[in-house]
A and B are shown apart, each in its own frame.
Chain A
Amino acid sequence: MDVILTSEDKVIIEKLGSRLTQCEKVKTNLIPILQMIQEELKYLPPEVIKMVAKYLEIPGSEVYGVATFYNQFKFNPPGKNPIKVCLGTACHVRAGDIILENFERKLGISEGQTTEDREFSIERVACVGCCALAPVAIMGDTVHGHMAPSKVEGLILRVQVEHEKAERERQKIESDRQ
C-alpha cells in the first residue's frame, strides 16, 4: 500500500487525532472510530490505522484485521467522482456486470481502483434499493437507472467536459486578476 497523503489529508488526520481523544478508550469503539475517520477522510491510510491502534492500545494488525473484514472500509483514496456499479441480484440478471466492464474499459482501471488523477474510482456495490430501475450505477450522489453500455461514455464525458469548463473559467479568472 503506497498511498501518498495529500496535504489536505494531513490536515484532516491532524484534526482527527484530537477528535479521537474524545472517544472512550474501549475496543467496542473501534468500528465507530473507523467510521468517523472514514467519513472525514473517505479512506483509511496506514497512518490512521497506526494512530487508532496506538490510541486504543491494541496491535495495529488487529485494527487492520477488523477494518479489512468489513466492506465499508476503503484503503485507497476514492476519486472525486466515485462510481458505484450495483451488482445486486436484480442488477446482475439485467447485466450489471457489463456496465461495470464498460466503466472499467473506458477509464482503464478495474473495480476497487482510482484513476491516477484521482478523478474517478470504480466500486461494485450490492443492491442500492432501486432494483426496479436495474441496472443501476451511482456517480457521486446521483443514481442512474436503466443503465446501458452506451450511456457509460456519456456520463464520463459529461464530467470531463464540466471539469474542463471549470478549469477554463478558473484560468480566465486568474488571467483577469493579473
Chain B
Amino acid sequence: MKKQKEKGKKLNPIDNKIIDEKFGAIFAEAQRRKKERQNNSIPKIHIGLSTCGIAAGAMETKTAFEETLSQRGIEAQIHCVGCIGHCYAEPWVIIENSESGFPPIFYPQVTAGKAKMLTKLYLEEGDPRLEHILGAMEENEMIPSVWEFSRFSKEKRIVMDLCGKIDPDDINEYIAEDGYSSWAKALKSPPDEVLKQVLGSGLRGRGGAGFLTGKKWELALKQTHLEKIVICNADEGDPGAYMDRTILESNPHQVLEGLALCAYAIGAHKALFYVRAEYPLAVKTIQNAISQAMESGIIGKDILGSGFDLEMDVFQGSGAFVCGEETALILSMEGSRGMPYHRPPYPAERGFQGLSTVINNVKTLAAVPPILKNGASWYRQTGTPESPGTAIFSVVGNVTHPGLVEIPMGVTLRTLIFDICGGIPDKKKFKAAQIGGPSGGCLPEEFLDTPIDFDSLIEAGAMMGSGGMVVLDEDTCMVDVAKYFLDFTQKESCGKCTFCRIGTWHLLSILQRLTIGEGQEGDIEKLEQLSHDIKNGSLCGLGKTAPNPVLTSLKYFREEYEAHIKEGCCPAASCRALSAYYIDLDKCARGCDACVGCCPVDAVFTTSNRKKGIDQQLCVKCGECKVHCPPDYNAIFRISPAHLAPIIERPKEENQ
C-alpha cells in the first residue's frame, strides 16, 4: 500500500474558529431553508417512501396526490420521507393543513383512492375525515393523538429519531435538526475525546455479538504504525430483518456522521459502506448522501478547515450471509470468496489489504452522534447498566402492529409484543418469539417477562443477533421453524469447516425426516449431540450459532419433537406431510361454492348431497379453502396426523 500523505495529521487544530465559521454557515443555510418551509402556510403531505412503503404502494399514493392536487388546482407540498417504523400502516401519510385549524394528522393505509378523497375533502373542503385517521401527531383538544397509542408512546428513539421525519435525500434537513453538529464539535477537539465518550457510554456493537465499541476503537488506535480504514457493515444477512436497510434509507446521514466520527477517533482517512447490492434503494440513498456531504465539505479534503481528510465510498456486497462476519466481509472486498479466517489477528490489527480495520454495524454507528451530542452519561440513562441504550427490533410474524421498534434495552418481551405491537391477531395464542434470526433462538411464553438485553438473551440460549424478531402463534410448528433456519444456514455455510458444512446438512436432514413423519427413536439425542459438535467444531459465528434454533426449540418445545417422532403428529397441524384438511359436513352449507374456485389443484368436489369434500390425493394443503370458507360456516379444519381426517368419498359419476 502506498502511504497516504500525512497532512491529515494536524489532529489538534488551533483553527477552531474556522470550523465554527464554516459549519456555522452550513447550519445557518439549513436553518433558513427549514424556516422557509415552516413559514410557508401551504399544506404539507409527508409520505414514507422507503422500500417497505413503496412495496405497499406509496408511489401510487404519491402520484394520486400529485394528480389530484394539480387537477383541482390546490397548492400543497409533497414531502418524501423515509420509514417511520410503523409498517402495519403502510402506505401512510401525515397531512399538515394548518389553515384548517387541525394539528398534523397521521393517516394509515392511504391507497391511491384514499389519497384522492383526502385531497378533495380535507385539503379542499377542510374535513379531515376522522374515520380514516390513526391520530394527530401532537397533543391537542380536538382529536386523539397517536401518543395515546402505546405503539408510539412506549418507544424511545435515539437511533431512529429522525427516520420518517426528514427527507433522506436532502442533507440540509438533517443538518437543520442538529445533524453533523457532533462531527463539527469533534473536529474541534482531539480524537481521544470522541473515544472517551464512546468508551464512557458503554455502547455495545449492535451487529450481534455486543462487543464494546470503544474497546474495538481503542485497539485500532493503538496500531500507530498502520494506515486505517473504517467500514460500516450493512450486509444484514438475516432473512427476516430489515432495520439496517431501513435506517440507511431513512436517515443515511446519521450513519455517515457516526462512521466519520469513528474514522476521526482512530485516525482513519478512508471509510466504506458495505451494503448489499440487492438493496438498490439503500445503495442509492447512501451514495447520494456521500456526494452531498462531499459537496458541503463535511467530508473530503481538509474537512471544514480542520486539516482532517476523509474519503468515503460504497462497496456493494453480493449477498452471502457469511459476509456479514467481519473477516469474510474483508475477503469479499478483496475479490475472493467470503470465507472467515481465524482471529486474532483482529481486523483492527490487520484487516482489509493489511490495514487496521474497524467494522461496525449500522445501528452502532448511528448511535454515536447522539452520544457525542448529549454525552456518555446521558446515553447510560437509557437501558440497563450492562447494555446501555436502545435496541431496535423488526417485529414481524403473527403480530398486530408489525414494524420497526426502538425500545430501551431491558424492556420485557411482553411489553414489546403485547403492549407495543398489539399482541397476536385473530385471538390466537402466543407460542414463541424467534429472536436473532439464524443465530438466535425461539423463546417460549415463560420468557415473556425477561428483560431483553445482550446477556439475558444469551443466557436463554438465543442471542441479540441481527435484532430480527418473529412472533409465532399457536399454529406454528417449532420443528418446522428450526428446519427453516437450518435450511438457511446449511445453504449459507461457506464450507470451510467440516462440522459446519456437513454437520448442518445432517441436522437438516434429520429435521426434514421429522417433518414428514419419518422420525426415529434416538433422533432427538442425535440432534443434540450434533448441535454441540457443530458449535465446538466451527471457526466463525455462523457455525457456532447455527444450531441455536434447534437447541432452543428442543429445550423449550421438546414435546413437539417427540410428537413428530412417536406419533407422526404435528401438534400445530402445520407440517404438510403430517396433516390434512377436511370439510365438516355438518357445517358445510349445501350449494355453497366458496372453496371450489379457490383451490389451485381442483381437489374440492361436490358430494352426492351437494356439500363439499376434499380429495386427499390431490390436495396440496395450501389452506386456501379454509381462508375462503365463509365465517358463518367455518366448515374447514386441519388435523394432524393426517389419517384422522374423516374420509369422504368422491361420487362416482364426477370421478374423472
Interface of A toward B, CB cutoff 8 Å: 26-32, 34-35, 65-66, 69-73, 87-90, 92-95, 98, 101-102, 105-106, 125-134, 136, 143, 145, 148-150, 152-153
Chain A residues lying within 8 Å of B54, measured Cβ to Cβ, are: 143
Chain B residues lying within 8 Å of A70, measured Cβ to Cβ, are: 318-320, 323, 332, 338
Residue pair B55, A89 in contact (C-beta under 8 Å) = no
Binds A, one of B19-27, B32-40, B148-156, B616-624: B616-624
Closest to A29 in B: B335
Of the A-B pairs whose beta carbons lie under 8 Å apart in the complex, a sample of 15, sorted by A's number, is A28-B334, A31-B316, A32-B315, A70-B323, A70-B338, A71-B320, A72-B277, A72-B318, A89-B484, A95-B622, A129-B50, A129-B279, A130-B52, A131-B87, A131-B242
Residue pair B623, A98 in contact (C-beta under 8 Å) = yes
Residue pair A27, B334 in contact (C-beta under 8 Å) = yes
Quote the shortest CB–CB distance from B426 to chain A (angstroms): 12
Partner of B620, one of A30, A32, A71, A101: A101
Closest to A130 in B: B55
Closest 3 CB pairs of A and B: A89-B240, A70-B318, A126-B239
Chain A residues lying within 8 Å of B137, measured Cβ to Cβ, are: none
Q: B333 at interface (Cβ–Cβ under 8 A)?
A: yes
Quote the shortest CB–CB distance from A44 to chain B (angstroms): 12
Q: B90 at interface (Cβ–Cβ under 8 A)?
A: yes
Chain A residues lying within 8 Å of B472, measured Cβ to Cβ, are: 93
Quote the shortest CB–CB distance from A167 to chain B (angstroms): 27
Quote the shortest CB–CB distance from B554 to chain A (angstroms): 19
Chain B residues lying within 8 Å of A93, measured Cβ to Cβ, are: 397-398, 470, 472, 476, 481
Quote the shortest CB–CB distance from B483 to chain A (angstroms): 10
Q: B51 at interface (Cβ–Cβ under 8 A)?
A: yes
Residue pair B278, A72 in contact (C-beta under 8 Å) = yes
- With A28-B335, A69-B338, A73-B318 as known contacts, state yes or no: A89 contacts B437, CB within 8 Å: yes
Residue pair B335, A127 in contact (C-beta under 8 Å) = no
B618-648 CB contacts (< 8 Å) to partner A: 620-624, 627-628
Closest to B281 in A: A129
Chain B residues lying within 8 Å of A27, measured Cβ to Cβ, are: 334-336
The CA of A149 and the CA of B622, in the complex, are separated in Å by 7
Closest to A126 in B: B239
Quote the shortest CB–CB distance from B369 to chain A (angstroms): 24
Residue pair A105, B241 in contact (C-beta under 8 Å) = no
Chain A residues lying within 8 Å of B434, measured Cβ to Cβ, are: 89
Q: B168 at interface (Cβ–Cβ under 8 A)?
A: no
Residue pair A153, B600 in contact (C-beta under 8 Å) = yes
The CA of A105 and the CA of B602, in the complex, are separated in Å by 13
- With A66-B336, A132-B403 as known contacts, state yes or no: A143 contacts B397, CB within 8 Å: no
The CA of A148 and the CA of B628, in the complex, are separated in Å by 11
Quote the shortest CB–CB distance from A41 to chain B (angstroms): 15
Chain A residues lying within 8 Å of B600, measured Cβ to Cβ, are: 102, 105-106, 149-150, 152-153
Closest to B89 in A: A132
Chain A residues lying within 8 Å of B590, measured Cβ to Cβ, are: none
Chain B residues lying within 8 Å of A35, measured Cβ to Cβ, are: 277, 316, 318
Chain B residues lying within 8 Å of A95, measured Cβ to Cβ, are: 622-623
Residue pair A65, B337 in contact (C-beta under 8 Å) = yes
Residue pair A129, B52 in contact (C-beta under 8 Å) = yes
Closest to A134 in B: B396
Partner of B396, one of A65, A101, A132: A132
Quote the shortest CB–CB distance from B183 to chain A (angstroms): 29
Q: B598 at interface (Cβ–Cβ under 8 A)?
A: yes
Q: B205 at interface (Cβ–Cβ under 8 A)?
A: no
Name the residue in A34, A65, A87, A153 with the highest tally of chain B Cβ atoms < 10 Å from its Cβ: A87
Partner of B87, one of A71, A92, A94, A132: A132
The CA of A90 and the CA of B241, in the complex, are separated in Å by 9
Q: B543 at interface (Cβ–Cβ under 8 A)?
A: no
Chain A residues lying within 8 Å of B51, measured Cβ to Cβ, are: 128-130
Quote the shortest CB–CB distance from A79 to chain B (angstroms): 18
The CA of A153 and the CA of B369, in the complex, are separated in Å by 50
- With A35-B318, A128-B55 as known contacts, state yes or no: A98 contacts B403, CB within 8 Å: no
